Structure formats: structure tokens, C-alpha cells
Amino acid sequence: MSILSRRDTLVRAGQAGLVAGAAGLLAGCDALDRSPRFRKILSLGEDMHRHSQRLLQDRDALATEYSSDDLSPVFRSNGTRLPDSADYAAQAANKFVDWRIAVTGLVARPLSLSLADIRSGPQRTQITRHDCVEGWSAIGQWTGMPLHRVLAAAGIRDTARYIVFRCADRFGDTPYYESIDLVDALHPQTLLAWRLNGAALPIANGAPVRLRVERQLGYKHAKYVNAIEAVASLGGIGRGMGGYWEDASNYEWYAGI
Amino acid sequence: MSDATGPQTREVADPSPRVVVRHRLSTRIWHWTNALTLLVMAMSGMMIFNAHPRLYWGEYGANADAAWLEIGARGERGYLRIGGAQVETTGVLGRWRDADGMTRSRAFPYWATIPSNYSLAGGRLWHLSFAWIFALSLTAYMIRSLCNGHLRRDLATDRSDWSPRHLWREVKDHARLRFTKGAAAPRYNSLQKLSYIGVIFVMLPLMIFTGLAMSPGFDAALPIAEAFGGRQSARSIHFITMCALIGFFIVHIAMVVAAGPINEIRSMITGRMRIAPEAPGEEA
């Protein structure tokens, strides 16, 4: 066998090996991706991100705030753009004057807040960058009541560890829900926002009230909020992962990265 | 271990043909860990890119804003657009058939992504956990290379490495697939030094920092997106550097094949490299 043809054979074997290797790699990764045990190992990475970010961040460290020159010309909306229910349509037609946000769970004084309640008292206005898990970003100006004021008024109990938000929009039959822990719930930039860029919050962006959790990705910022519940554990919420996308598609509960 | 284990050549046993220890254990372990990790990072990264296959400059960027790069589909045709230039990429990018023959309109094809079926959450799970292995192994390797002299002895450049005339000669030699033989073969040439330094100390750290710049949680601790011109710029630089790393990988593999794949791969597994005897009169 000449050197040339031997090399040819080697190259061909190499190519075949490469193709087989690539196919094997893909199949292997997909098999691992389906294995609950392997996913559990991978999710350790999420825990490490949460712990290291919390270690690096000051508890009240602020997300970057911008000036009005930095605003996105168009603030993109995503997820539900118009909740599909007769009740929501009636509320919207009525300018949400009858909208109520129930504050319940592990609190000393359950509340039922109207839009007027949310708009009264000290408000916070901030220009921040909204980062979607998909990769896009939009900068907008938000005004709303800091969530810590609501929680102080309701008097959250010592046993409460998470705040759950329930929403008027549905994915199939499931109303959207999300949750954050007390570190984010008591953060100064965490708002029940009712204004975007100086105007009433548009329906596409979560009217009449949406959550802002500036140190996390967009899917944590629950829109159309109509109930707030303080809980000790996320076990009884949905399938127990703490949010709609977390339960439906395995998105991370901690969305700081 | 203090004497000699790098490209510095140490003769082992029988002198003919000469076998030298070329790569240290730390280099070999990191090389293969990093190769596997970068492969997973690139493929899971392409899955994440598929969720929003548009790139922007600046702090913000979404569908209503101008994208400088976009992979998409119009009707039956897939395309890649960079600035004003557009090429049709049907079958590979934007629109392609999956393993079952189903036509899909996604940016990167199934064979380039982890997992192969569209799942942003799945891609993120892989990407963000392997990011730890990537960053921690790189840091450990950098510290090890600083301590064991690998950096100083094998990678550090001197003025001659940067001389344009010398570099041009090396480029020509590489293009003609003429490689150093004999005693000088185990040592890195100037192009190797510069590309390895560029990858290890510039491109890989850039991947880590542009990655962190996209994290809203990290932003509150250390707002570094600004240093890259904003979060969407950081995302663009992350993507461009990924492409540059794939370019490095292709040239790297081509050079390994050209220089003798068995000897080269063996040297990165066992550390040992066989040196061809010098032909009389040939320039080493």
C-alpha cells in the first residue's frame, strides 16, 4: 500500500469517525439532557450563581439606573400582550378602578389594595434596563410603590420566606404566577409599578400593575398582578418550582444570570 | 518536577528516535477539559442565540431596534444578514430540516445546538453550569502556568517574536505546511505563542466577562456592561469572540493534522512527543 493511499484511507476513516463522533455526541447530550439526575447536577450551577451573586452583591445593591436619554424608543412587550378574559376586558374598559390586589398568606393584616392605594404615598421612579431571558433588552422608566411598603403595611410574619405573585393572564388554563425571596422582595428597586415612561402602564406591559425585580430577568417581573401571598415554602405553589415558566419549562427560579 | 516538563525538551530513555516530554500534566488536563467545555458552551450558546437571533450595539436592543446581525427566514428561505449584506443560508441557518426531516425556522440547526430540540431553558441549564467549569479551570490553569514556569518559559514572547519580518516568514512557512523539525520542534514558534496567549489571556477571559456583563444580578454587584459599550454590545462581543474561537479551533485542528496528528495528539494525551531525526544539511 503506498503512503498516499494509506493516508487517504486514514483521512477517510478520520472523516467517518468525526461524523460518527458528532452524531454520538449529539445523541449523548440529548440523553443526558433528558436524565433527571444529570439535570439535577447541572442545576447545581444555578445554586452556585445565586450564592455567588448574593455574596458579591450588597443586599441593597442597585441595578444600574439610566437617564431619560437612554430610553428605548419602543419598549417591547412579551408573553401575554392582552389577557384573554371577559373580566379583564371589563376592568380595562372601566380603567381598572375596581382592580384589587389581595395581600394574604403569612401576614399579620391581610390587605385588599385598590389602584388608588398603590398610587398613594411615597413612590419610586427609576429608569432601568429590562433584560429578557431570550437575550433582548429595553430601557424604560418605571414608577410604582416599593413592595417593601406593602409588606410592612401587611406585617409579614417571621416564618415567611417567599413572596408569590398571582396574575390575571392565563397560559392555557393556568394563571401566570411568580415568586421571589425576601432579599429581592425588600429591595429598594422592587416595585409594584403602574407607570411606564410617564404614562399609565399599557395593557401589553401588564396594566394596571406589574412587578419590577430589577436584578433578575424579565419573566420574574409578573404582569397583571392581582394577588400577593407571603409563604414559608414554594412547595404548595404550582408544581413547586416557584413560577409558571419554572414549572412548565424548567426555567431557573433564580434568574439573576 | 522542577526540571523540565514543557516544550523545554527532556530526553526520555532511548535516544533513537528521540522522544521528549512536551506537555505538562496540568496543560494536558486543562486542554481536554477546556476542549470539551468550550464545545458544550458553544453549542448550548447557539441554542440561547436561537431564542433571539439578532445582535445589537449599545445598552438596549429588541425587535423594534436596528440589529447589525440577524439570522432568520423569509418564506421558504433562510438568511444571514450582517449590516447591509445578506446571504441565503437555507438548509444551514435560518431554515433547515431536522433529524426527522421536519422543516424548522430557527437560526442554528439542530446538529449545532445542545439540546438538539429547541429549548431555551435547556440551553441555559447547560451553558450556565458549564460556565463554572470553564471559568474555574481556566483560572486554575493560569495560576498553575504562572507558578510552574510554563508561562515564562514557553509562552512569554520576546522582541523577535513580534518582528513583522519574522512573523511573515512563519506565516509563509505555515501556509506551505513547512514545520520546524529536530531539536527546535517541541518549542512553540512565534505564531503559536501569540495565538495561545491571545486565546488564553484575551479571548477566553473576554468570553467570561462579556458573559457576566449580560447578567442583571452581576450588574448590581459590578456594572461591567458599560466597559463593553452596554449589555447588547457585550452580547455582540460574546458572539464575535465565539466565532473567533471557532476560527482558532479550525486552524488549530488543521495544523495538528498537517504536523502529524498521531504524534501531536499523543503528546497532548501522554505528554510525550517523537522528534524526527534531522536530515543532514536541512535547516532546523
* Whole-angstrom distance, CA of residue B52 vs CA of residue B50: 5
Grid cell at residue B160:
523577535
Q: Which of B179, B264, B1, B218 is nearest to A215 (CA)?
A: B218
The pLDDT of residue B1: 36
10 Å Cβ neighbour count for B50? Answer: 22
The pLDDT of residue A24: 81
Chain B residue whose CA is closest to A136: B62
The residue with greater pLDDT, B178 or A141, is: A141
Chain A positions touching B62 (Cβ under 8 A) are 72, 74, 76, 132, 136-138
The answer to whether B119 contacts chain A (CB < 8 Å) is: yes
Q: How confident is the model at residue B5 (pLDDT cuts 50, 70, 90)?
A: very low
The pLDDT of residue B284: 38
The mean per-residue pLDDT over the stretch A60-88 comes to 95
The mean per-residue pLDDT over the stretch B75-86 comes to 96
Distance of residue B242 Cα from the nearest chain A Cα, in angstroms: 16
Chain B residue whose CA is closest to A247: B121
The residue with greater pLDDT, B164 or A185, is: A185
B185 pLDDT higher than 90: no
Q: 3-state secondary structure string, A96-139?
A: CCCCEEEEEECECCCEEEEHHHHHCCCCEEEEEEEECCCCCEEE
The residue with greater pLDDT, A190 or B190, is: A190
* Whole-angstrom distance, CA of residue B278 vs CA of residue B26: 30
A163 pLDDT higher than 70: yes
Q: Determine the distance from the C-alpha atom of residue A25 to the mean position of all C-alpha atoms in its chain, rounded to a whole number.
A: 33
> Where exactly are the structural domains of chain B?
18-53+113-275
Do B125 and A249 make contact, defined as CB atoms within 8 angstroms? Answer: no
A75 pLDDT higher than 50: yes
The pLDDT of residue A4: 55
CA dihedral B23, B27, B29, B33 (to 10 degrees): -130
B208 pLDDT higher than 60: yes
* Whole-angstrom distance, CA of residue A182 vs CA of residue A171: 26
Q: How confident is the model at residue B186 (pLDDT cuts 50, 70, 90)?
A: confident
B 77-96 residues with CB below 8 A of A?
Answer: none
B157 pLDDT higher than 70: yes
Listed range (A239-248, B122-131, B178-187) with the worst mean pLDDT = B178-187
B203 burial level (CB within 10 Å; 0-12, 13-18, 19+)? middle
The pLDDT of residue A238: 95
Strand partners, B274: B19
* Whole-angstrom distance, CA of residue A255 vs CA of residue A179: 11
* Whole-angstrom distance, CA of residue B175 vs CA of residue A185: 60
Find which of B127, B129, B134, B238 to mutate to test the A interface (most A CBs within 10 Å of its CB): B129
Do A30 and B214 make contact, defined as CB atoms within 8 angstroms? Answer: no
Chain A positions touching B116 (Cβ under 8 A) are 26, 29-30
The pLDDT of residue A6: 66
Residues in chain B: 284
Chain B positions touching A138 (Cβ under 8 A) are 60, 62
The pLDDT of residue B2: 38
Sign of CA dihedral B118, B119, B120, B123: negative
The answer to whether B40 contacts chain A (CB < 8 Å) is: yes
Q: Are A136 and A74 in contact (CB under 8 A)?
A: no
Widest CA span in chain A: 90
pLDDT digits (tens, 9 = 90+) for A96-154: 999 999 999 999 999 999 999 999 989 999 999 999 999 999 999 999 999 999 999 99
The pLDDT of residue B21: 85
* Whole-angstrom distance, CA of residue B72 vs CA of residue B95: 7
Chain B positions touching A48 (Cβ under 8 A) are 132
Provide ipTM, 2 decimals.
0.91
Chain A positions touching B214 (Cβ under 8 A) are 131
CA distances from residue B169 to B162, B166, B173 in whole angstroms, order as listed: 12, 5, 6
Do B215 and A257 make contact, defined as CB atoms within 8 angstroms? Answer: yes
pLDDT digits (tens, 9 = 90+) for A87-104: 999 999 999 999 999 999
Chain B positions touching A62 (Cβ under 8 A) are 220
Q: How confident is the model at residue A7 (pLDDT cuts 50, 70, 90)?
A: low
What is the C-alpha end-to-end distance of chain A, expressed in Å? 57
The residue with greater pLDDT, B281 or B181, is: B181
Widest CA span in chain B: 69
The residue with greater pLDDT, B7 or B250, is: B250
The mean per-residue pLDDT over the stretch A67-72 comes to 97
Q: Are B98 and B112 in contact (CB under 8 A)?
A: no
Do A64 and B219 make contact, defined as CB atoms within 8 angstroms? Answer: yes
Q: How confident is the model at residue B184 (pLDDT cuts 50, 70, 90)?
A: confident
Q: How confident is the model at residue A5 (pLDDT cuts 50, 70, 90)?
A: low
The mean per-residue pLDDT over the stretch B218-243 comes to 97
Q: Which of B199, B202, B234 is nearest to B218 (CA)?
A: B234
CATH superfamily of B18-53+113-275: Transmembrane di-heme cytochromes, Chain C (1.20.950.20)
Partner residue facing A76 (CB), from B62, B110, B261: B62
The mean per-residue pLDDT over the stretch B187-203 comes to 92
Do A133 and B124 make contact, defined as CB atoms within 8 angstroms? Answer: yes
What is the C-alpha end-to-end distance of chain B, expressed in Å? 28
A67 pLDDT higher than 70: yes
Do B60 and A72 make contact, defined as CB atoms within 8 angstroms? Answer: yes
Grid cell at residue A208:
394596571
A77 pLDDT higher than 50: yes
The pLDDT of residue B4: 39
Partner residue facing A131 (CB), from B39, B216, B223: B216
Chain A positions touching B215 (Cβ under 8 A) are 53, 256-257
Distance of residue A245 Cα from the nearest chain B Cα, in angstroms: 9
Listed range (A182-186, B35-39, B215-219, B265-269) with the worst mean pLDDT = B265-269
Q: Is B182 left (phi over 0), alpha (psi -120 to 50) or beta?
A: left
Q: Determine the distance from the C-alpha atom of residue B243 to the mean position of all C-alpha atoms in its chain, rounded to a whole number.
A: 8
The proportion of chain A whose per-residue pLDDT surpasses 70, expressed as a percent, equals: 96
* Whole-angstrom distance, CA of residue A32 vs CA of residue A81: 35
Do B124 and A56 make contact, defined as CB atoms within 8 angstroms? Answer: no
Find which of B46, B52, B60, B210 to mutate to test the A interface (most A CBs within 10 Å of its CB): B60
* Whole-angstrom distance, CA of residue B284 vs CA of residue B279: 9
The proportion of chain B whose per-residue pLDDT surpasses 90, expressed as a percent, equals: 70
Do A135 and B121 make contact, defined as CB atoms within 8 angstroms? Answer: no
B160 pLDDT higher than 90: no
How many beta-carbon contacts under 8 Å exist across A and B? 146
Chain A residue whose CA is closest to B115: A30
* Whole-angstrom distance, CA of residue A214 vs CA of residue B217: 8
The pLDDT of residue A3: 56
Distance of residue A87 Cα from the nearest chain B Cα, in angstroms: 31
Distance of residue B277 Cα from the nearest chain A Cα, in angstroms: 19
The mean per-residue pLDDT over the stretch A44-72 comes to 95
B211 pLDDT higher than 90: yes
Q: Are A176 and A80 in contact (CB under 8 A)?
A: yes
Chain B residue whose CA is closest to A63: B220
Q: 3-state secondary structure string, A81-104?
A: CCCCCHHHHHHHHCCCCCCEEEEE
* Whole-angstrom distance, CA of residue B207 vs CA of residue B222: 16
Reported as type and span, the H/E element at residue B70 is strand B69-74
Distance of residue A186 Cα from the nearest chain B Cα, in angstroms: 15
pLDDT digits (tens, 9 = 90+) for B103-148: 999 999 999 999 999 999 999 999 999 999 999 999 999 999 999 8
Q: How confident is the model at residue A12 (pLDDT cuts 50, 70, 90)?
A: confident
Q: Are B72 and B60 in contact (CB under 8 A)?
A: no
B 47-76 residues with CB below 8 A of A?
Answer: 48-49, 51-52, 54, 59-65
3-class secondary structure, B74: strand
